[in-house]
Amino acid sequence: MVAKSISLLPWLQNYISFLFFSFTTIFFLLSILLLLLRFWPWCNCHVCKAFLSSSWTAEFTNLSDWYTHLLRRSPTGTINIHVLGNTVTANPDNVEYMLKTRFDNFPKGKPFSSLLGDLLGRGIFNVDGDSWQFQRKMASLELGSVSVRSYAFHIVTAEIRRRLIPLFASLSDGVIDLQDVFRRFAFDSICKISFGLYPGCLEASLPMSEFAAAFDTASRLSAKRGTAVAPALWKLKRLLNVGSERELKRAIRLVNVLADEVIRQRRELGSASSHDLLSRFMCSVNDDRYLRDIVISFLLAGRDTVASGLTTFFLVLSKHPAVTAAIREEIANVMRGSGDDDVASFEQLKKMHYVHAAMYESLRLYPPVQFDSKFCVEDDVLPDGTFVRKGTRVTYHPYAMGRMESIWGPDCEEFKPERWLHDGKFVPASPFKYPVFQGGLRVCLGKEMALMEMKAVIVSVVPRFDLRVLDTGRSLKFAPGLSASIDGGLPAQVRRRRSPAHGPC
């Protein structure tokens, strides 16, 4: 009997261990559930119900279009998404208040840094205070210098002449994904301008680089965090290293490895070419992790925004042949007498007011960064009377602002470059009415360089090629990410023109 009892002892121990493990697991899961329920921002208003249930997708393809609809219906141009703790505005007075009047009360804030910290680290887009001021001062000195702008223009025109135009010419009467092409072009350009390195990813025989692919994944999944109703969920997934957070970690690891390689190669090249921005930063920063964050921030600014702006420009242009004709006419008039294979000079670009207006009009309707968020430090009241509690996320929405009748009139959804011209000259709008490049103290430092790059491409491609976007009737859907990109790309038929506007090519 004793022997039998002894033989049952291991079984009994295993059974008790199983019960204890099961109880511990259930207790842990219940604790997590109670914690989530405690911090879950419940709300029964129709907007929050539509967000939580995704019922808005029955009528709108993109979240930005739904927000635009809500903001149009709001008397103040401001709405509250309570379940996200987010106040969203399309009111220019509110934008000026956040970006200029009360700048110190609406920083990026720690919650924003938490969302993008794994990807952007201490890069300029993710910090406030001394770190932001240092990077901004350094970038401002370099981007504002004549030598750097001349260096950047030389690189862009060389890329257009030697790679972009030949690529389009080789694909004449074929189909190409314009978004992919412009991403490659912008990636190559920003690598050369910012780091003094050429990745060569525009070669037709090569796929998109691993760096670019990993960056896309990291951007998409980082943006997904911002739409989480309960941030504790993605933080728990990050802690357990599961699901999308595991995929994000893998992508960021690759981005970091390749960013470190950029720094290593730049050091090997030495200071022979000191025009690039990374070389200038390396003279003042000894922390490689900090340099890596700066590298990633420059890529985010220089690749995604330029590629997005060019992609949507040619999408819009394909629907407006009269605008295409007007652009070709202006280019022909300005470049009359130039050589057949020449791209426009910097001075010639400055004279093309209609092209500039068309570019601004396209960015009004399709800004590369569709919205931008700040976090309120202390209780505040926006100019439209909206009370903002301390710790609230406040988002201004350039995409929606470009579609507000109260700002642009009843023709706000029409593509009309003429709205930017007065007596044939381009006249900009207030940056708080048109915050495509932000405004106030955080206005985009790379604005002029990005506009120059886009304009140089437009002026070189439009006279030489007809780019007919396929399936223009489909509903435009944007992929999740930190900047606007078209889900599924933008396929277009390329056809070389026999008689370009300023002479045979």
Annotated binding site for heme: 444
Cross-strand partners of 79: 88
Residue 393: name the closest of 189, 10, 155, 98 by CA. 98
Task: Give, for 377, the enclosing helix (H) or strand (E).
Answer: none
334-366 burial by CB neighbour count: b if 16+ within 10 A, else e?
A: bbeebeeeebbeeebbeebbbbbbbbbbbbbbb
Q: How far apart are CA 260 and CA 133, in angstroms?
A: 24
Q: How far apart are CA 426 and CA 351, in angstroms?
A: 10
Q: How far apart are CA 200 and CA 350, in angstroms?
A: 29
Distances (CA, A) of 300 to 159, 293, 381: 20, 11, 33
Distances (CA, A) of 166 to 160, 169, 234, 335: 8, 5, 45, 20
Q: What letter would DSSP give residue 483?
A: S
Residue 437: name the closest of 369, 382, 340 by CA. 369
Q: Which residues are annotated as a binding site?
A: 444
Helix segments in 335-416, DSSP class H: 346-350, 353-365, 398-401, 405-408
Compute φ and ψ for 419, nearest 5 degrees.
Answer: -65, -15
